């Protein structure tokens, strides 16, 4: 019994540390109740990923396929977003990733560096990934469109249609155990719906036989930090799914 209490205290400590890292100042009542009943799971340890990792022999094939896809994209002019970009942000991470995060499109920092999620929103995403028990390089991160929309506006239908086949192919090559779609555009594009993200998040959907968990975009969380705990709830469901 005493041992069980110690485990519960450790779980609560883990959750509180996560909230602190995510900048949460108050805990909603229902979360506090979950902590008391020890329903909140601490992140499980993950084996190191990398060459020869999760799916062993597929590694080389995946690297070659991703390289071929990048070559296919080339100096892409398939949509009007090509006009203002500095860099195409292809995506990055482990080709053997168990989790793939898919956002909307690059912002200014991402456009300058040619890497996804490296600005303030990216730092928040990295914190989430680490609190889930992974390193950033263990997962794969990409976007629905690979070039920055002007003034960070939402990508338009024709731009999404032109670019989203690439991230679909990336997901097919990497074949993660779970996709986490970040925000409305990513979620609605991948599962083909117009339902608002607030109604979609927190439940699993299917993207070409891969379980997909929608959650809020980190940029939204920067504007609405009180909703960070909802993203952590979604993340815990993802961690549970990875155990299966
Ligand atoms: S957003 Fe995608 S389709 Fe449009 S120019 Fe960039 S890489 Fe090509």
pLDDT per residue as tens digits for the range 108-129: 999 999 999 999 999 999 999 9
Mean pLDDT of 210-221: 98
Distance CA 35, CA 74 (A): 50
Specify the ligand 1 atom closest to the Cα of 162.
Answer: 3
Mean pLDDT of 25-35: 48
pLDDT at residue number 7? 62
pLDDT at residue number 179? 98
Q: Is a pLDDT exceeding 70 seen at residue 33?
A: no
pLDDT at residue number 61? 96
How sure is the predictor about 53, in pLDDT bands with cuts at 50, 70 and 90?
very low
Q: Is a pLDDT exceeding 70 seen at residue 38?
A: no
**List of long-range contacts for 22-25, beta carbons under 8 Å, 24+ apart:** 22/124, 22/127, 22/128, 22/131, 22/221, 22/225, 22/228, 22/232, 23/225, 23/228, 24/225, 24/226, 24/228, 24/229
How sure is the predictor about 164, in pLDDT bands with cuts at 50, 70 and 90?
very high
Mean pLDDT of 67-95: 98
- Give the Å distance between the CA of 62 and the centre of ligand 1: 22
Please tell me the residue having the least CA distance from ligand 1 atom 4: 79
- Give the Å distance between the CA of 75 and the centre of ligand 1: 9
Q: pLDDT > 70: what percent of the chain?
A: 77
pLDDT at residue number 50? 41
Give the residues surrounding ligand 1 with Cβ less than 6 Å away.
73, 76, 78-79, 81-82, 88, 145-147, 159, 162-163
Mean pLDDT of 52-76: 85
**Residue to mutate, 72, 80, 88, ligand 1, most ligand atoms under 8 Å from C-beta:** 88
Q: Going by C-beta distance under 8 Å and a sequence separation of 6 or more, which residues neighbour residue 137?
A: 93, 94
Please tell me the residue having the least CA distance from ligand 1 atom 5: 82
């Amino acid at each position: 019994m005493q041992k069980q209490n110690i485990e519960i205290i450790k779980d609560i400590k883990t959750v509180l540390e996560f909230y602190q890292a995510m900048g949460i100042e108050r805990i909603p009542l229902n979360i506090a109740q979950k902590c008391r009943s020890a329903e909140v799971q601490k992140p499980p340890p993950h084996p190191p990923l990398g060459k020869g990792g999760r799916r062993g022999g597929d590694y080389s094939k995946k690297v070659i396929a991703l390289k071929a896809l990048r070559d296919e994209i080339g100096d892409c002019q398939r949509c009007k977003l090509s006009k203002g970009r500095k860099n195409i942000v292809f995506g990055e991470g482990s080709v053997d990733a168990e989790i793939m995060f898919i956002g909307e499109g690059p912002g200014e920092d991402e456009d300058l560096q040619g890497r996804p999620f490296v600005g303030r929103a990216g730092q928040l995403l990295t914190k989430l990934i680490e609190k889930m028990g992974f390193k950033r390089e263990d997962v794969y991160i990409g976007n629905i469109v690979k070039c920055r929309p002007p003034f960070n506006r939402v990508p338009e239908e024709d731009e999404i249609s032109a670019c989203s086949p690439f991230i679909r192919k990336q997901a097919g090559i990497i074949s993660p155990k779970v996709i986490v779609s970040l925000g409305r555009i990513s979620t609605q594009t991948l599962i083909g719906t117009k339902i608002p993200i607030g109604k979609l998040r927190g439940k699993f959907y299917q993207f070409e036989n891969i379980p997909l968990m929608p959650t809020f975009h980190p940029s939204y969380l920067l504007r609405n930090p009180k909703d960070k705990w909802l993203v952590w709830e979604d993340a815990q469901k993802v961690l549970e799914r990875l155990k299966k």
